[in-house]
Amino acid sequence: MNKDQDYSALKPGSRWRWATVLALLAVAGGYYFYQAGRQNQENADARANQYENAPVSVAIALTRQGDLPIYLSGLGTVTPLHTVTVRSRVDGELIRVAFTEGQAVRQGELLAEIDPRPYQVAVQQAEGQLLRDEALLKNAKIDQARYQTLLEQDSIAAQQTATQAALVKQYRGTVEIDRAQLDNTKLQLSYARITAPVTGRIGLRLVDQGNMIRAGDVNGLAVITQIQPISVVFTLPEDQIPAVMRRWRSGDAIVIDAYDRAGQQKLASGKLLAVDNQIDASTGTLKLKAQFDNEDRTLFANQFVNVKMHLDTLLAATLAPSAAIQHGANGAFVYLVKDDNSITVRHVKTGPTDGETVAILEGLAPNEKLVIDGADKLREGSQVNVIDKAKPAVPSPGKPAN
């Protein structure tokens, strides 16, 4: 056997050996990467479990026992008790405007004057007519007395005496007409002075001095609105009316507070004045009227206000912050923090609310710790880390219930 033949015999075996080595390396590499990936997954799962079991940071608040006012809320419009358009009762030139726009006026106060001279002349004419007819009546009475004496002496016909008596009555009637005419002309003269018919605040002037005005003018001189006292007409849903009527029939005054459009600033306090006699079928609401003294003049006619009616007070109730109340398929519940900082889920029955405070009718007692922030990741048995000092649930004064 020569050298070339030996080399050709060894070459195929060598190729098989290299193939085997490469296959073993591939298997070893795959196993290595499999083990490495498995270890990484186990480490990730361990970290996830550790994260899930870590205490959740939460803020808590304490429940407490206290009194909770019950309010009903409605939307209302300020309505004046009197709104009067000041108009002239006679025709003439407006010679004086005696008020300032926006001024508070009292009933009977002078507002404007119309040229009185034509009406003064009419009064003088009526007085002259009355004097003339009174003189005629006096003379007719004298003649009647003379005729009566002559009739008794049978010196005159009875018919003439009767005619004179009728003439006296005629003159007497004329004098009465003259007196009525004089009173009427004096009344027209008094209308030349335009006075305030009610007490209130007068608006913008609608006619300037120097204009001719007439009794039939539609717009008038100005508008007076009574603002002290003033009323608010508001509505409540029909399902709240039975509770209102029970309180109304008791005879106790029902306090009404008026707030601005945003419901933040209190404008005035008053009392319920009247309840309408029928429910609006289109809205399912009932109209009520409250009256306000409006001493600060903060209420204006046609102003939109939020109305808060203090209906009752819930005494010695368990109070909790509204932020602690969660809602699920089974109703309202809270996350209660136990002494070992673990969580338990407690179902509760809520009552009226007052601002950020809610009354708990069932399920809680005073001085229990409730989670008010950080409840997203909580479940039964979770451990928590309290990061905020517990605060009692205190009602916010003046914030009405929903």
Q: What ranges in 102-228 are assigned the alpha helix state H? A: 117-152, 158-190
- According to the model, what pLDDT value does residue 391 have? 56
More confident residue, 49 or 30: 30
Rounded to whole angstroms, the Cα distance separating 204 from 148 reads 68
More confident residue, 92 or 339: 92
Residue 85 has pLDDT above 70, yes or no: yes
- According to the model, what pLDDT value does residue 33 have? 67
Closest CA to 289 of 243, 249, 236, 252: 236
Q: What is the CATH number of domain 116-191?
A: 1.10.287
Residue 98 token pair? 């005696």
178-205 pLDDT, tens digit per residue, is: 999 999 999 999 999 999 999 999 999 9
Phi, psi angles (nearest 5°) of residue 10: -85, -20
More confident residue, 87 or 393: 87
Q: Residue 246 is inside which H or E element, if any?
A: helix 241-249
> What is the arithmetic mean of pLDDT over 233-249?
91
Contacts of 355 (CB under 8 A, 6+ apart): 395, 396, 399, 400
Q: Which amino acid is located at 128 in the chain?
A: G
Please, are residues 213 and 90 in contact by the beta-carbon 8 Å criterion?
A: no
Rounded to whole angstroms, the Cα distance separating 253 from 1 reads 132
Contacts of 394 (CB under 8 A, 6+ apart): 64, 66, 319, 357
- According to the model, what pLDDT value does residue 42 have? 64
Q: Tell me what the pLDDT averaged over the chain comes to.
A: 85
Q: Tell me the pLDDT band of 50, cut-offs 50, 70 and 90.
A: very low
More confident residue, 354 or 318: 318
pTM: 0.63
- According to the model, what pLDDT value does residue 169 have? 93
Residue 6 has pLDDT above 70, yes or no: no
> What is the arithmetic mean of pLDDT over 246-268?
90
167-179 pLDDT, tens digit per residue, is: 999 999 999 999 9
Cα separations (Å) of 228 from 78, 195, 231, 239, 402?
12, 19, 9, 33, 30
Q: What is the DSSP letter of 240?
A: G
- According to the model, what pLDDT value does residue 352 have? 84
- According to the model, what pLDDT value does residue 351 have? 85
- According to the model, what pLDDT value does residue 58 have? 84
Contacts of 278 (CB under 8 A, 6+ apart): 286
Q: Tell me the pLDDT band of 3, cut-offs 50, 70 and 90.
A: very low
108-118 pLDDT, tens digit per residue, is: 999 999 999 99
Which of the listed CATH numbers 2.40.420.20, 3.40.50.300, 3.40.190.10, 3.30.60.50 matches domain 56-68+315-392?
A: 2.40.420.20
- According to the model, what pLDDT value does residue 329 have? 86
357-382 pLDDT, tens digit per residue, is: 898 988 888 988 888 888 788 888 88
Residue 155 has pLDDT above 80, yes or no: no
91-110 pLDDT, tens digit per residue, is: 999 999 999 999 999 999 99
116-140 pLDDT, tens digit per residue, is: 999 999 999 999 999 999 999 999 9
Q: Tell me the pLDDT band of 279, cut-offs 50, 70 and 90.
A: very high
CATH T-level fold of 72-81+225-314: Elongation Factor Tu (Ef-tu); domain 3 (2.40.30)
Rounded to whole angstroms, the Cα distance separating 293 from 307 reads 15
Number of Cβ within a 10 Å radius of residue 127: 15
Of 20-29, 55-64, 95-104, least confident by mean pLDDT is: 20-29
Closest CA to 84 of 279, 226, 281: 226
Cα separations (Å) of 137 from 126, 170, 174?
16, 8, 9
Residue 7 has pLDDT above 50, yes or no: no
Q: Tell me the pLDDT band of 314, cut-offs 50, 70 and 90.
A: confident
Of 23-37, 143-157, 313-327, 382-396, least confident by mean pLDDT is: 382-396
Task: Provide the b/e sequence for 359-386 (b: ≥16 CB within 10 Å).
Answer: bbeebbebebbbbbebbeebeeebebeb
Task: Provide the b/e sequence for 175-208 (b: ≥16 CB within 10 Å).
Answer: beebeebbeebeebbebbebbbbbbbbbbebebe
Rounded to whole angstroms, the Cα distance separating 112 from 95 reads 8
- According to the model, what pLDDT value does residue 150 have? 84
